[in-house]
């Protein structure tokens, strides 16, 4: 099992890849207007840091119950944070209004060609690193929220390692991509209580990401909160890596035996490590 620890990426998650790629392509005039984004946290941090590096003001619309560590880090990268209520507010409308008011570019979290291409650089690296190790990858598993990472990585692997079978992993109750692939069209999952994975609670695959996932994925696995917590403990005890719930789902799928690995080389992306200390403490103590 080969591990791509995007927990060690800037901002502690793969999201910096796409955000920087998107913002660095803006013209000077566009940069001056700044950027607006909405995100539960990792895209927020990616946009905030990319904006700071490019000298742009940034406003991030975040849910009021986002992990504290993500809100604090987003502010620490210099962005202004505006909160919304998940139950009541339309975050896309809030972001669009803020963008119009400021003359700022609104950067979506996943459904954008430059975001997808940026996330796909993780796939370019995985293919090159596996080649350097002389270890062709039979199966690759990555988390799926809106599908930006999975679709970018799928395009990279299709070009560089076409024999690799690609699997998405979603948390139980937020299996909109699994349902969409079964239906052959974009579907939402029925309303569910919150998952441990704040990063993967997207309502539906994107208009751009869905056809890419449909054309490249061999399947989607789902994992329970208990399997996710077990995988976080394994990452803590054995890998010595801090992985957030939404980032650990591929490891959870392997440990739960969702796929037969006998004689095969697997690659998994641990996509982020931004988790509140209190939640992490409860998980490693076995309290959840």
Q: Which residues does residue 85 pair with via DSSP β-bridges, in sequence order?
A: none
> CA–CA separation, 51 vs 117, rounded Å?
18
**Nearer to a second copy among residue 64 and residue 277 (C-beta):** 277
Q: Does 241 bind a second copy (CB under 8 A)?
A: yes
Write down the residue that tokens 């004689």 correspond to: 263
Q: Does 8 bind a second copy (CB under 8 A)?
A: yes
Binding segment (CB under 8 A) for a second copy, from list 28-36, 101-109, 120-128, 236-244: 236-244
**Nearer to a second copy among residue 114 and residue 239 (C-beta):** 239
**Interface pick for a second copy out of 65, 89, 236, 258 (rule CB under 8 A):** 236
User: What positions carry a catalytic annotation?
Assistant: 15, 271
> CA–CA separation, 139 vs 285, rounded Å?
32
> CA–CA separation, 214 vs 181, rounded Å?
6
Q: How far is the CB of 78 from a second copy (least distance, A)?
A: 16
Q: Does 267 bind a second copy (CB under 8 A)?
A: no
> CA–CA separation, 236 vs 280, rounded Å?
10
The bridge status of strand 105-106 relative to strand 80-84 is unpaired
* Secondary structure letter of residue 180 according to DSSP: H
**Interface pick for a second copy out of 7, 180, 202, 271 (rule CB under 8 A):** 7
Q: Sheet containing 58-63: which strands, arranged edge to edge?
A: 80-84, 58-63, 35-38, 105-106
Q: Does 285 bind a second copy (CB under 8 A)?
A: yes
**Interface pick for a second copy out of 69, 126, 169, 223 (rule CB under 8 A):** 69
Q: Does 133 bind a second copy (CB under 8 A)?
A: no
Binding segment (CB under 8 A) for a second copy, from list 35-43, 92-100, 256-264, 278-286: 278-286
Q: Does 207 bind a second copy (CB under 8 A)?
A: no
Assigned token pair, 270: 């641990």
Assigned token pair, 240: 């010595």
* Cα 162-166-167 angle, rounded to 5 deg: 175
Instruction: Give the interface with a second copy as residue ranges (CB under 8 A).
Output: 5, 7-8, 12, 69, 233, 236-243, 273, 277-278, 280-282, 284-286
């Amino acid at each position: 099992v080969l591990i791509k620890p995007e927990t060690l990426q800037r901002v502690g998650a793969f999201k910096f890849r796409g955000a920087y790629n998107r913002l660095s392509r803006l013209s000077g005039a566009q940069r001056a207007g700044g950027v607006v984004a909405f995100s539960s946290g990792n895209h927020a941090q990616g946009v905030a840091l990319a904006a700071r590096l490019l000298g742009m003001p940034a406003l991030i619309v975040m849910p009021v119950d986002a992990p504290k560590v993500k809100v604090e880090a987003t502010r620490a990268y210099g962005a202004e944070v505006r909160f919304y209520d998940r139950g009541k507010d339309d975050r896309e409308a809030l972001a669009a209004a803020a963008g119009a008011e400021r003359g700022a570019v609104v950067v979506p979290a996943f459904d954008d060609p430059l975001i997808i291409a940026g996330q796909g650089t993780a796939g370019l690296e995985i293919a090159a690193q596996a080649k350097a190790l002389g270890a062709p990858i039979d199966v690759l598993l990555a988390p799926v929220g809106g599908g930006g990472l999975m679709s970018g990585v799928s395009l990279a692997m299709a070009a560089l390692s076409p024999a690799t079978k690609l699997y998405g992993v979603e948390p139980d109750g937020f299996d909109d991509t699994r349902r969409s692939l079964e239906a052959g069209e974009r579907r939402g999952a029925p309303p569910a209580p919150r998952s441990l994975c704040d990063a993967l609670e997207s309502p539906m695959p994107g208009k751009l990401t869905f056809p890419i996932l449909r054309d490249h994925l061999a399947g989607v696995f789902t994992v329970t909160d208990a399997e996710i917590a077990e995988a976080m403990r394994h990452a803590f005890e054995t890998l010595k890596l801090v992985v957030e719930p939404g980032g650990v789902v591929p490891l959870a799928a392997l440990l739960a035996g969702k796929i037969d690995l006998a004689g095969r080389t697997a690659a998994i992306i641990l996509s982020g490590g931004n988790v509140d200390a209190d939640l992490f403490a409860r998980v490693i103590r076995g309290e959840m």
